[in-house]
Chains A and B, each alone.
Chain A
Amino acid sequence: MQARASVQSRRPSMWAIRGPLSRRQYWLFATLGLLVPLALWWGLSSVSAVDKVFMPGPVDVFDRLVQWYAEDELLSDIWISVYRVTSGFLLSALIALPLGLMIGTFRPVQAILEPLTDFIRYMPAVAFIPLVMLWVGIDESSKIAIIWIGTFFQMVLMMAEDVRRVPMAQIEAAQTMGASKGETVTLVIFQAAKPALLDTLRVTMGWAWTYLVVAELVAANSGLGYSILKAQRFLQTDKIFVGIILIGIIGLVMDQLFRLAHRKAFPWQHLKA
């Protein structure tokens, strides 16, 4: 009897395969995961043997951030980069969404567009820079175009896959209730795919940011990516660190906003068991 009680009260270890982790433990580990690299960085940079050009310390980087803010155009650099990334990203999403829906729903559209998209998505976005300059010019639209090229083709394919994953039984149930083709697409397929589509947007938003530096190779004179490239020329390693970390933080914030929107928009997917 006693043995049984003790068995019941024993919680499986968090190191059991897919074992449990309490909220407190989660945050403990998450903080550890962030603090340990930071501490390593600090330690490494404070060893006097390491040149600051190779490895500026957290303090140097923070000082540079303050200086960038006070003496330079940090906020407008951030703003223009956010503008470029979100514009390119939104343009991708706007075109990819209807196309993905069509590819995932109608086989002929899939046959026409999917092999073509698969072919283009392997082309390096960087290599398109001269062509973009030739076709689009060198103003804002060229930077947006690069980000668009980097994200659009991946996005279409992922969205088509999201749409294809809608269970056939949900579609057929609507059909046997008398739904027309249009109603089946708008009232069932699109609604059912929405949560997955938002997740795809979240993931591709991250990719859009990775193309920022590439985009700002094109005749830019402002922006986080541009600043990183300029700092490279002057060997301002600490400024490169600031730029990279800022991009990381902005990306993290946007990712969390997407997750929040997902929880608000699709509460039935976030029910606690």
Chain B
Amino acid sequence: MPTKISIQQVGKVFGEGSHRVEALKDVSLDIADNEFVTFVGASGCGKSTLLRIIGGLEYHTSGEVLVDGRPVEGPGADRAMVFQHYSLYPWLTVMENIKFSRRLKHGRESLTSSDVEAASGRADALLSLMGLNAATDAWPNQLSGGMQQRVAIARALMGRPQVLLMDEPFGALDAQTREVMHDLILHVHKLEKPTLAFVTHDVEEAIYLADRVVLMAPRPGRIDTVYQVPLPAEREQDMKHTPEFLALKKEILARIRETSGMKTDQNMLDRLNLDTASL
């Protein structure tokens, strides 16, 4: 597979002087076309910042990010993004939200009537794919959190983006809904074949979805380890109980703890124990 996204020695510094924070330092990673990569790591590791840099919503202060060999210079329709929440337009119905990109000029240039028809068919197809048929004319705030995220994903897919960036998209959903969404997003990935970069704090989710799991570490934000997921391409919920899956999960969780810089916690606990013992 050819490289789709090439991240080369990317650095990101927030603030100046004593407020200077190195959010990312010397991050390099190649993501192949149609690959599914998830990013995990302790808070402050810069995983969201990296995703936003790929999306062009944040700028990097050093290095280079190439998509299809071209440097990223801002957001664009080739890299759609799905956010954790508040991204749907509450004044538009579900269908109008999904078709939002059709209101934009770049989507309308040199459009024939058959294009318009095809787009309309695509919107309907995405609606069915996401199981939203019954909600076509509903407003977003009439939907559950899970349904809202389905709309957000459908809307992001509408413009046929080659890269789909997801920033903790299921972080606010309950565990059952999240499992349904996992199989849905895997199905979408197989069907639409976007390159998928996905940030999460849920290690099980990261392993279940990904071809590769990228573990990042904080202070300064950097890539610590890249894990190849030893599971067949076709994922099933039962695989979460296989020894390979559990072993990888344990390994990644241990490494996140090691890199989080919170080792002093044990001392804190010991002290708490001592304090209560002396009471």
Contacts and interface: CB of A to CB of B under 8 A. Distances in A.
Interface of A: 167, 169-170, 172-180, 183, 187-188, 191-192, 194, 266, 268-269, 271
B249 interface: no
A176 B100 CA distance: 12
Given A191-B91, A271-B142, A172 B106 contact: no
Contacts of B85: 169
A179 B139 contact: no
B75 A172 contact: yes
B83 interface: yes
B46 interface: no
Interface in B126-147: 139-142
Dominant secondary structure at the A interface: helix
B89 A188 contact: yes
B107 interface: yes
Contacts of B158: 177
A183 B139 contact: no
A178 B103 contact: no
Contacts of A169: 83-87
25 contacts: A169-B83, A169-B84, A169-B86, A170-B86, A170-B87, A172-B81, A175-B57, A176-B56, A176-B75, A176-B77, A176-B79, A176-B80, A176-B81, A176-B161, A176-B165, A177-B100, A177-B158, A178-B107, A183-B104, A188-B89, A191-B89, A192-B89, A192-B91, A266-B91, A268-B141
Nearest to B79: A176
Given A177-B158, A191-B91, A268-B141, 11 more contacts: A169-B86, A170-B88, A173-B81, A173-B87, A176-B77, A176-B165, A177-B104, A177-B155, A178-B101, A178-B106, A178-B107
Given A174-B100, A178-B76, A191-B89, A183 B105 contact: yes
B89 A180 contact: no
A173 B83 contact: yes
Contacts of B121: none
Contacts of A188: 89
B55 interface: yes
Interface residues of B, number: 37
B63 interface: no
Contacts of A172: 55, 57, 75, 81, 83, 87
Give 8 closest A-B pairs by Cβ, nearest first: A178-B77, A169-B87, A175-B75, A268-B139, A167-B86, A176-B81, A169-B83, A173-B87
Interface in B67-96: 74-77, 79-81, 83-91
A170 B91 CA distance: 12
Interface of B: 55-57, 74-77, 79-81, 83-91, 100-101, 103-107, 139-142, 152, 155-156, 158-159, 161, 165
B104 to A, nearest CB: 5
Contacts of A180: 104-106
Nearest to A267: B139
Given A176-B76, A176-B165, A178-B107, A271 B87 contact: no
B101 A177 contact: yes
B90 A268 contact: yes
A167 B139 CA distance: 17
Contact of A176 (B57, B86, B90, B141): B57
A177 B87 contact: no
A231 B75 CA distance: 65
Nearest to B163: A176
A197 to B, nearest CB: 13
Nearest to A166: B86
B142 A176 contact: no
B55 A176 contact: yes
Contacts of B89: 170, 188, 191-192
Contacts of A176: 55-57, 75-77, 79-81, 156, 161, 165
A178 B87 CA distance: 15
A174 B107 CA distance: 13
User: Which of B87, B106, B142, B158 has the most chain A CB within a 10 Å cutoff?
Assistant: B87
A271 B91 CA distance: 12
A93 B260 CA distance: 52
Nearest to B140: A268
Contacts of B141: 268, 271
Nearest to B81: A176
A174 B83 CA distance: 12
B5 to A, nearest CB: 15
Contacts of B79: 176
Contacts of B83: 169, 172-173
Contacts of B55: 172, 176
Contacts of A179: 104
Nearest to A179: B104
A91 to B, nearest CB: 28
